[in-house]
Amino acid sequence: MLSYLHAFHAGNFADVQKHAALTLALAMMQAKKTPIACFDTHAGSAMYDLASDRARKTAEADSGIQRLWAMRQRLASMDWRPMLEVLARHNGAGETLAHYPGSPAWFAEFARPGDSVTAFELHPSEGRALEIWARDAGVRVLQQDGLAGLVRQLPPPQPRLLTLIDPSYEIKDDYQQVSDTLHKAWKKCRHGVYLIWYPILTSGLEQRLISELEKGDVRKILRHEVRLDQPPERGMVGSGLLVVNPPWGFEQRFMAMMDDVQGDAGLGLSQSLSWLVPE
């Protein structure tokens, strides 16, 4: 099943949470000079046109990244600044955003000499678009299953690792496969930082992933969730992130970022943070 296209959902509230965490983790890890190997297991096509038919069909960016952009002068946390600077480079200083970077583009924007970025994408058309973009971005593209591919690539030659795992979860088995992949990857690279995104659904399917990780061997898993204050009757009512081996102080800084976008004055969501598995 390869029907999922992120272009319908690019820049939604889940992307704001996910990419805020990714850019913060990158910035914090880059406080040290040692190189980082970056992996993106489900990269998509890297750049999205927010005025396209696909994006406008759902208009999810309007209540996500567009709203964040509109309130950018009121964001208290300085950790938003790197993300806003990237958006400004791609869009200028207009009142609305025309283009939104996907996760491989966020990795590429922050990569330093010595860092590497590897992006996996199995979808044929998305993979072709990703390869075209990657020619000038310094990103290695592998058109293969990202979960299996990640495990094959570990441990990396660089001394540090940052990985984003964010499948669409179209297939119910994805929850088990993500858990299995994380366990295998962690055993090969226990010091790596792993970000795992999951949807929070009315069906509660995400609990499969949570339960598997709670009883597994992986340690030091931070759990962050945002939930819509006015959720739909069906489908995705929130967005979750698991961060394995978060940089020291990450939880306080990320909570401060998401505090800025809570409630009616923000993105219409509330947040929670706890340790799913302690150290």
Annotation-wise, does 114 bind a ligand? no
5, 54, 93, 132, 173 from 127: Cα distances, Å: 11, 18, 30, 9, 22
Query: Which residue type occupies 187?
Result: K
Decide: residue 137, CB within 10 A, 0-12 exposed, 13-18 middle, 19+ buried. Answer: buried
Q: Which tokens is 32 given?
A: 């040290």
Annotation-wise, does 224 bind a ligand? no
Annotation-wise, does 183 bind a ligand? no
Sequence-ordered list of residues with C-beta below 8 angstroms from that of 51, at least 6 positions apart, any chain: 98
Residue 27 to residue 29: CA distance in whole angstroms: 6
- Burial 149-165, CB ≥16 within 10 A → b, else e: bbbebbebeeebbbbbb
Residue 79 to residue 253: CA distance in whole angstroms: 8
Beta-carbon-side half-sphere exposure of residue 270 (alpha carbons within 13 Å): 4
Q: Is the dihedral of CA 253, 204, 146, 228 positive or negative?
A: negative
Are 49 and 101 a contacting pair, CB within 8 Å? no
Catalytic residue among 115, 166, 174, 260: 166
Judged by DSSP in three states, 27 sits in helix
Are 261 and 7 a contacting pair, CB within 8 Å? no
Q: Is 166 one of the annotated active-site residues of the chain?
A: yes
Are 46 and 130 a contacting pair, CB within 8 Å? yes
Annotation-wise, does 123 bind a ligand? no
Annotation-wise, does 166 bind a ligand? yes
Show which residues are catalytic: 166
Residue list, annotated binding site for S-adenosyl-L-methionine: 19, 42, 103, 121, 145-146, 166
